[in-house]
Amino acid sequence: MEPVVQYKEVQKSFGDTHVLKGINLDIMPSEKIAIIGPSGSGKTTIIRLLMTLAEPTGGDILVDGKNLWKMEVNGKTKTANEKHLGAVRDDIGMVFQHFNLFPHKTILENCTLPLTSVQKMDKTEAEALAKQMLDRVGLGDKFEAYPANLSGGQKQRVAMARALVMKPKIMLFDEVTSALDPELVGEVLEVIRDLAAHEDMAMVLVTHEMEFALEIADRVLFLDEGVIAESGPADDVINKSENPRLQEFLKRFRSNGQS
């Protein structure tokens, strides 16, 4: 089986700040990966590069074998243009810490918009699919509501439905529960748990929820100062690793409830 995503020696600097220092990572179809690590270690940057929200300063990212940031023109390698990026990015969905919904559009419109604008799907078909995905995240009774009338947990579930309508091969979650009131975290984790159990797509979760990572991740990566310092089955990395930096991180994390 071919990986759905490959990072090959990926580097990212912002000015003088060297954030990612040679990331090598193969993500297999349907694999569920959790990324943990201290603040500033580069977790968000790793997934933003895949979502094409930032450009690597070195190395390559391949999606389904296609180079995301480079394209071939008449046998020559060139920097990818918008069309190429858009085509490759179609396979990737992302849910952010802050949901970024359109406030003046209904929940249903928020979810049909990517289909009608990006995929040029007709409205009836788009609405049917959006309703199916909103049902999937437990919001089948909220189609006509506006974001302002939803709780944070419900908004986050809309954001998931909006990503799911695109039927991505890989879905990225960046600390999607960390901006929520504690009592709303459970309902969002429940949806992710359900997706992880029943969907074939690969999932990459940046998370501070260690128990949750243990429960759903096939593999956990510990990112430390821009390198993948540990990678392995969740239980091995979280409970059995002897890496002192990881132990320090987990200890700090357990004593504060966060990193």
Ligand X SMILES: Nc1ncnc2c1ncn2[C@@H]1O[C@H](COP(=O)(O)OP(=O)(O)OP(=O)(O)O)[C@@H](O)[C@H]1O
Cα-based torsion angle of the residue sequence 161, 153, 35, 115 in order, rounded to the nearest 10 degrees: 20
Alpha carbons 118 and 134: distance in angstroms, whole number = 19
Q: How many residues bind ligand X (CB under 6 A)?
A: 11
With CB under 6 A as the contact rule, the residue among 6, 45, 110, 112 that binds ligand X is: 45
Assess 74 for contact with ligand X (CB under 6 A): no
Assess 205 for contact with ligand X (CB under 6 A): no
With CB under 6 A as the contact rule, the residue among 16, 39, 73, 124 that binds ligand X is: 39
Closest separation between CB of residue 44 and Mg ion, Å?
A: 3
Alpha carbons 256 and 259: distance in angstroms, whole number = 7
Alpha carbons 220 and 82: distance in angstroms, whole number = 32
Cα→Cα distances 80→51, 85, 91, Å: 14, 6, 16
Which residue stretch of 11-19, 124-132, 144-152, 162-170 sits at the interface with ligand X (rule: CB under 6 A)? 11-19
Residue 211: partners with Cβ closer than 8 Å, 6 or more residues away: none
Q: Which of 39, 46, 94 is nearest to 256 (CA)?
A: 39
Assess 177 for contact with Mg ion (CB under 5 A): no
Q: Which of 32, 31, 52 is nearest to 206 (CA)?
A: 32
Q: Which does 168 bind (CB under 5 to 8 A by kind): Mg ion, ligand X, none?
A: none
Q: What stretch of H or E contains 206?
A: strand 202-206
Q: Which does 156 bind (CB under 5 to 8 A by kind): ligand X, Mg ion, none?
A: none
Q: Which does 45 bind (CB under 5 to 8 A by kind): ligand X, Mg ion, none?
A: ligand X
Q: Which does 40 bind (CB under 5 to 8 A by kind): ligand X, Mg ion, none?
A: ligand X
* Closer residue to ligand X in complex, CB, 37/153: 37
Assess 124 for contact with ligand X (CB under 6 A): no
Closest separation between CB of residue 135 and Mg ion, Å?
A: 30
Q: Which of 87, 25, 92, 89 is nearest to 59 (CA)?
A: 25
Residue 94, classed as helix, strand or coil, is strand
With CB under 5 A as the contact rule, the residue among 4, 36, 41, 44 that binds Mg ion is: 44
Assess 17 for contact with ligand X (CB under 6 A): yes
With CB under 6 A as the contact rule, the residue among 5, 27, 43, 237 that binds ligand X is: 43
Q: Where on the chain is the footprint of ligand X (CB under 6 A)?
A: 14, 17, 19, 37, 39-45
Q: Where on the chain is the footprint of Mg ion (CB under 5 A)?
A: 43-44
